[in-house]
Structure 1
Amino acid sequence: MNAIVTRNMLDEGTDARNTIFPPGYQSGVGQARGHMLANQLGGSGDEWKNLFTISQNPTNTPWMSMFEQRVYDAVADGDVVTYNVYLEYVNDDPDSPPESIHLEAFGHRKGPDGKLRFDQEDIRQPSSRRTWPLILPGVTMTTLTALTTICPPPASPPSALDWSPVETELGMRLPEDYKQLMATYGPGEFCNFLSLYYPHAPREAAALTGPMPARLRQQIEEVRHNARLPWPLPHPPEQLFATGVTGNGDYLFWVTQPSDKPDAWDVAVNQALRAPWYTFTGTLTQFLLAVIGGTTRVPSFPEDLLDNGTTFTPARPIVEPTTPTDQQDSMNPTEIRAWARANGHPLPDRGRIPIEIIEAWKRGNTV
């Protein structure tokens, strides 16, 4: 079983249904119907694939329940935890009770030392037999798939991008999670509020490859130095690369350190280039999952951000103004009226010429 546990999942599970008998289960012999994804972590007790036979003591309680409590506490404290449960069976036979259980949990937030705040692995009754990962319907495995679960992307995926020339133009590699994010969602707006910059966007203000990232770096210093009491910056401007903007004028930046490890870049948020700054330790996709999933609140973001649901709205295509054709330039109302009368179309001397007559005139006067 593989899941990403977010705060909105806590305490949303159900007790094991007593009409479900997992393989090998016997009543009255100290066994229990164990949840792979725990009840308190949002796991269903009505789905037979989430239940397995487990000894009540000491495996279910206290071993597994203590581990699940650590996951629960980490998520309640604001983390988003990837949680994996593997069952190992005698002779690889999934129709028998599992011989051992392997639990893993990894947080998505890092501490001041750069390490994950939550990183747990617990193996009971180790075995040389291979594991059987059981993926439950609707349970996600990666940060991106977790994001798409709570905030569905467009039904039609955007056109594939060739990232090599984009990175050459920028002079740096881009985080893989950003490329996958753009390939899934494309340009648009999350929760009618937050937009990410996109390579070669039609408007330069939204283009990752446009002048905005460099312009914003310069403006950060200008705004700060023009203040009566300049505030300290949490990151040198040369390490900041703009990657998005909100409807309130908050800017999102990658903190491009280490410069050669883009997958390790954190996300910084700033309100209109002024203080204060907020730094999220994690990738851009992890930031979106945490904000949209409700486990992280950016101080400058509105409190009612999620009140209208977690949505993504694709950017509308920009319709370029058409250049007048020679035929349009040469249209003369007097000539059109004369042509209309000569061809049996009744038309008064004054007033707007109906579009149907104009189109008929065009067809009859095509060069």
Structure 2
Amino acid sequence: MEWVDRLVSATEWTAEPGACDWSDTERSLGARPPADFKEMRRRFAPWGAFSDHVLLLEAQGDTESVLARHTSLTRSMRGNPDNRRLFEPFGILGMDDGHREKGLVPWGYSFIEEEFFWLADTSQEPGTWPVLARADPLEPFQRFDMTASEFVCRVLTERGFSDFGVAAAIGTPFYRAF
């Protein structure tokens, strides 16, 4: 988990890792979240934000968990089919519109409305799922062929990293538990 270790080092995070139960999420999605993400959540166990900017969804919870956000998206799509346009051409994982084994799964967001997803494919190893991100729900997704932990680390530490990088604005990265 090289990128998780880099993130811990960059933020100088010293809290003890926590335990995360992903069983409900895995059962509902029909897939395991990538191991690097699960390790990142374990290492940064208390709910919080990286540099008061990036938030990771949790393993469990009613609103701020991977499962809760995914469930909310699928309900939104079923309740208003016009919302599906917002996720084209990928769809949401598990929807009954030809994207049953492939589609987006949310894993995080920023305080300025950026959204972070995996482009999940249940026939592939979760560690190979690319990150898709967008700055606004009406903008197209940008694809990053990297893990979520690499994406977060680069957002926080590399000046000029894509449209999502904040290293120039924040200086030294940190993690703040709420």
The TM tier, using the shorter chain, reads 0.7 to 0.9
Q: Which runs of 5+ in 2 are unaligned?
A: 94-102
Shift of 1:167: 1.8
* Pairing partner for 1:215 from 69, 72, 78: 72
* TM-score of the two chains, using structure 1 as the length reference: 0.40
Aligned structure 1 segments of 4 or more residues deviating by more than 6 angstroms: none
- Residue-pair matches, total: 165
DSSP 3-state at the match of 1:209: helix
What amino acid maps onto 1:248 in structure 2? I
* Pairing partner for 1:278 from 128, 131, 142: 142
The reply to whether residue 205 of structure 1 matches residue 74 of structure 2 is no
* TM-score of the two chains, using structure 2 as the length reference: 0.77
Residues 224 and 166 of structure 1, relative CA distance in 2, 3 Å threshold: closer
Shift of 1:233: 3.6
The reply to whether residue 248 of structure 1 matches residue 108 of structure 2 is no
DSSP 3-state at the match of 2:63: helix
Shift of 1:304: 4.7
Shift of 1:154: 4.2
What amino acid maps onto 1:193 in structure 2? H
**In structure 2, how many angstroms separate the alpha carbons of the residues matched to 1:263 and 1:155?**
25
Q: Which runs of 5+ in 1 are unaligned?
A: 1-140, 226-230, 317-367
What amino acid maps onto 2:65 in structure 1? A
Q: Where is the helix percentage greater, Structure 1 or Structure 2?
A: 2
What amino acid maps onto 1:216 in structure 2? L
What amino acid maps onto 2:35 in structure 1? E
Residues 248 and 173 of structure 1, relative CA distance in 2, 3 Å threshold: same
In the TM superposition, 1:17-56 aligns within 5 A as none
Equivalent position of 1:176 in the other structure: 35
Equivalent position of 1:290 in the other structure: 154
Larger Rg: 1 or 2? 1
Equivalent position of 1:101 in the other structure: none
Report Cα offsets for 1:73-96 as digits up to 9, x if no partner: xxxxxxxxxxxxxxxxxxxxxxxx
**In structure 1, how many angstroms separate the alpha carbons of the residues matched to 2:29 and 2:122?**
16
